[in-house]
Structure 1
Amino acid sequence: MIIQPVILTGGSGKRLWPLSTSDIPKPFISFDQKNSLFQKTLSRVEQLSNSIHDLNNPIIVCNQKHESLVINQTEKINAEIASMILEPKIKNTAPALTLAALLIKKRFGDGIMISIHSDQWISNNDDFSEKISDGIKIASNEKIVLIGVDPTEPNTEYGYLNITKVKSLKNEFQVKSFIEKPSIEDAEKMIISKNYLWNSGNFILKSSLWLRLMDKFEPKILKHCENAMRNSNINSKIINLDISHFSKIEPISIDYAVLEKMRSTDEYKSKLSAVKLNSKWTDLGEWYSIWKFFNSRDKNNNFFQGEIDYTNVKNSLLISKKNSITAKNISDIFLIENNGKILIKSNHKARKFDKPWGFYEILSETQGQKIKKLTIFGGECTSLQKHKFRSEHWIITQGVAKVTVEEDTFELSQNSSIFIPKGTKHRIENHNQENLCLLEIQTGVYLEEDDIIRFDDKYAR
């Protein structure tokens, strides 16, 4: 059976205005002055051919007005595509995937589709290839396989998959339920439980299964998609749709059209599986994600792109596409310029920093003093460390901490505190399931994060 990647490029990326526009949306933008997100997706798909036999070149589903963008960006990296399905209007992901499934049906009868969003960032293509290979094996048994992501923080902007391990297969999980954008309290509980994955929106299934599901749950949309494809030349590389039928299609996402309905249907609820992606992943849905995930920030946590003249700038993202930007004595700012259009926005999340043991937030920072709030997840701990230039005063605000200072250990509960002089080895551990929270008051002549000497670290930093 053929393996058919389907790349969906219909997202508008409105939250990344003014860089992302209706003419050049997020998938076709480069955020690292190299390849665009769409080009990175093409390269990721091409790498799949190293481990997956019978892999076809991808089908691209995109808006008609982006045809030249797809062609130009594909040619620039010498990538090959099987076909482009050009939508007259954006109708969301369920109709887009249905059109691709109908094309596969007409050309091959059936095939396993790999549905991939074109506007995401994945740090490890090898891990992605491995999990796609695992997913193809599972999907061949008439299942939908969602690509979940091992969560690294209690993010309230992502959807979550509640999962349970399938004993018969090494890398398969059964999806028990979907949780859409939870509260921060619920997200923290889900992270602690380790029974949840972020929902990346990418998945694998047979095209025939998808068409059966659409026939059951959204038969009107399926009919309009069939009619829109009926007069198209399916052997052409560029497929234009019948607009009179296409315009009747109601916009709806894959999740709402099919996946959530499967959970309440006895016939199909056991057919929802997942594999777990272990690499870093983000959908780059906001400027904070751009600032956080691209590895080109300077020592003051700044991300600069374009002609930027700056003095004393911290924790900021400055992008200039046409006009130069001069910035002085600012912090925690997003400033993006594109053809004279400018966005200025507070980077309020810049004061929050993720760590393998949890995260910390900077509450106050003045000369010689910094106050942080540390949140240590259940079962986690900091490294055994010391500092040359700063002393620390810890105040426990939630939970119970095990504290090591040199050769001594203490148990501290809420409202307890301890002072740690500079040059003293120390560690804090959370042996409970609930989060441990504390205030850390730093004093000294130098308070930056590189003043850490580690002696033992479970995360091998």
Structure 2
Amino acid sequence: MKKIVPIILAGGIGTRLWPISRQSYPKQFRKLGADDSLFQDAIKRFQGALFHRPIVVTNDSYRFHVVEQMGEIASLPEQILLEPISRNTAPAVLAATLATLAKDPDAVCVVTPADHLMPDHAQFAACVSKGLSAVHAGHMVTFGISPNRPETGFGYLELTSPPTADQETVRLKSFTEKPDVDAAAQMLASGRHLWNAGIFLFRARDMVAAFESHAPAMLPPVRAALTDKELDLGFTRLPRDHWSALPDVSIDYAIMEKQHDLHVVPYDGRWSDLGGWQSVWREDVNNAGKDATVTLGDSHAIDCQSSLLMAEHPDQVLVGLGLENVIAVATKDAVLVADKSRSSDIGALVKDLAQRGHKQAHTMPRDYRPWGWFEQLVAGPGFQVKIITVHPGGVLSLQSHERRAEHWVVVEGCPTVSIGPDSFEVPANQSVYVPLGAQHRLENNGSQDVVLIEVQTGAYLGEDDITRYEDAYART
């Protein structure tokens, strides 16, 4: 049997889970109290015999997160498509579908977001199998979540009839926008409505035909982007000039809501889009009662009801006293306190923070790089202190700085350091000085992380004071 090609959309930002999800490191790459991130769990969902290696579509900024996290679970992608700017899901789906079709005119694809919680992989694979007969008959299939409450935050799928156990698929009657409470209650009672999961199964040629019918203007720029693509370190870069000509539109609006004769596979397993803190709270209280308080990290609730408390940093203690219906999330550089019913408004809050110039709106204290990460510990006039971790095999670029000098103190590991023409190892508890203007590089040729403390001194300490001469990761 021909294997299904998964298309995993991993370019979202997830601002409604601020402050732990930000543009610099969004929720799909976070390990929210689990061994795997949401992205890694999405990859594992497609590791069975039914599926081919996945195509991942992500933002250029997240390319090394994708590679690192797939490497952690020993998974290889078929292709990683890099969007130069975000254009929502329709262009991403079309690009991945066209790339698949170029290799196999009979390919079957399944599209899924990377940031949904669906832990029962076997049940998901069984649902995908149920949709194959309809797909091979020329229909496109969407997946609907069996609702268990009158939810107003999701779109709904209206079926032509209530689903039965002996049906593989049910015909879709219509898409319904997010309803008010009364309408959601009526939909729940009807037995003919499912939540729209945003997961689709189709033959590649049928999806392209749907774009030809419903969004033909998108085909030329996406085809041009694939024709003029640039292969870079195993990534497929899509050119900005073609991509910027595309509309910012979802696959639902562009195609699915206009497509006739869609079929639906009901899914009654555990699922959440984790679209906000209310969703996170709900996932943890399923077995504890509706008024339970969820505590994550080193957080403690005293006489609290229906609340969520989360302390992210290991040095933090968060205590809630007498709270009701409250979300309190503390990270190293930001604290959110909100009424739980207002969690859907956090995206607007993040936009307001950005307009006010707060870096916390988009960036994390820990700055992830392809070789590892660094984090500022303390800063003042003319100096800055960072902790830097370089993973095994990681190589910092050959670089120099015009306005600062650096002093490195190795805490763990034994990096190889180059300064000018000299190259030498620096074992733990030793240090090295990098003069202003000197070309230098650090690499980790060992089997364990290298950890060092960097003290910067100079008139200007911004990250843009870098001149790169060579870079293993093709950064400019």
Measured after TM superposition, the shift of residue 215 of structure 1 is 1.7
Provide, for residues 177-230 of structure 1, a one-character-per-residue CA deviation record: whole Å limited to 9, x for no partner. Answer: 110101211111111110111110101001111111112221221111111110
Percent sequence identity is: 27
The aligned residue for residue 227 of structure 2 is: 230
TM-score (norm 1): 0.69
The aligned residue for residue 170 of structure 2 is: 173
Match runs of 1:71-86 below 5 Å: 71-86=67-82
The aligned residue for residue 357 of structure 2 is: none
Provide, for residues 154-185 of structure 1, a one-character-per-residue CA deviation record: whole Å limited to 9, x for no partner. Answer: 11111111112599982210001110101211
The aligned residue for residue 130 of structure 1 is: 126
**Counterparts of 1:182 and 1:329 in 2: how far apart (Å)?**
33
Provide, for residues 347-401 of structure 1, a one-character-per-residue CA deviation record: whole Å limited to 9, x for no partner. Answer: 2499xxxxxxxxxxxxxxxxxxxxxxxxxxxxxxxxxxxxxxxxxxxxxxxxxxx
Contact 1:103–1:234 (CA under 8 A) maintained in structure 2: no
Q: Counterpart amino acid of 2:254?
A: A
Q: 1:162 aligns with which of 158, 161, 170?
A: 158
**Counterparts of 2:75 and 2:284 in 1: how far apart (Å)?**
24
Q: 1:94 aligns with which of 90, 97, 107?
A: 90
Structure with greater proportional strand content: 1
Is the aligned partner of 1:340 residue 2:333? Answer: yes
Provide, for residues 249-297 of structure 1, a one-character-per-residue CA deviation record: whole Å limited to 9, x for no partner. Answer: 11111111011222xxxxxx22x10111011322111101101113698
Contact 1:31–1:290 (CA under 8 A) maintained in structure 2: no
Instruction: Identify if the C-alpha distance between structure 1 residues 235 and 321 changes in structure 2 by more than 3 Å, giving closer, same or farther.
Output: closer
Measured after TM superposition, the shift of residue 329 of structure 1 is 3.1
The aligned residue for residue 288 of structure 1 is: 278
Instruction: Identify if the C-alpha distance between structure 1 residues 273 and 324 changes in structure 2 by more than 3 Å, giving closer, same or farther.
Output: same
Q: 1:316 aligns with which of 288, 307, 320?
A: 307
**Counterparts of 2:160 and 2:324 in 1: how far apart (Å)?**
43
Q: After TM superposition, which residue ranges in structure 1, 4 or more long, deviate above 4 angstroms?
A: 165-169, 233-236, 295-300
State which drifts further: 89-98 or 314-323: 314-323
> How many equivalent pairs are there?
338
TM-score (norm 2): 0.67
Instruction: Identify if the C-alpha distance between structure 1 residues 193 and 167 changes in structure 2 by more than 3 Å, giving closer, same or farther.
Output: closer
Match runs of 1:371-450 below 5 Å: none
**Counterparts of 2:142 and 2:287 in 1: how far apart (Å)?**
32
**Counterparts of 1:257 and 1:209 in 2: how far apart (Å)?**
15
Contact 1:149–1:276 (CA under 8 A) maintained in structure 2: yes
The aligned residue for residue 298 of structure 2 is: 307
Instruction: Identify if the C-alpha distance between structure 1 residues 81 and 193 changes in structure 2 by more than 3 Å, giving closer, same or farther.
Output: same
Q: Counterpart amino acid of 1:315?
A: S
The aligned residue for residue 37 of structure 2 is: 36
Q: Counterpart amino acid of 2:103?
A: R
The aligned residue for residue 201 of structure 2 is: 204
Cα RMSD (Å): 2.4
Contact 1:171–1:275 (CA under 8 A) maintained in structure 2: yes
Instruction: Identify if the C-alpha distance between structure 1 residues 275 and 310 changes in structure 2 by more than 3 Å, giving closer, same or farther.
Output: closer
The aligned residue for residue 153 of structure 1 is: 149
- SS of the residue corresponding to residue 304 of structure 2 reads strand
The aligned residue for residue 18 of structure 1 is: 19
What 5-or-longer segments of structure 1 have no aligned partner? 263-268, 351-461
**Counterparts of 1:336 and 1:297 in 2: how far apart (Å)?**
22
What 5-or-longer segments of structure 2 have no aligned partner? 344-476
Instruction: Identify if the C-alpha distance between structure 1 residues 297 and 149 changes in structure 2 by more than 3 Å, giving closer, same or farther.
Output: closer
Provide, for residues 46-74 of structure 1, a one-character-per-residue CA deviation record: whole Å limited to 9, x for no partner. Answer: 1x42xx2xx31110000000011111111
Match runs of 1:182-197 below 5 Å: 182-197=179-194
**Counterparts of 1:58 and 1:22 in 2: how far apart (Å)?**
24
**Counterparts of 1:33 and 1:105 in 2: how far apart (Å)?**
36
The aligned residue for residue 241 of structure 2 is: 244
Is the aligned partner of 1:279 residue 2:269? Answer: yes
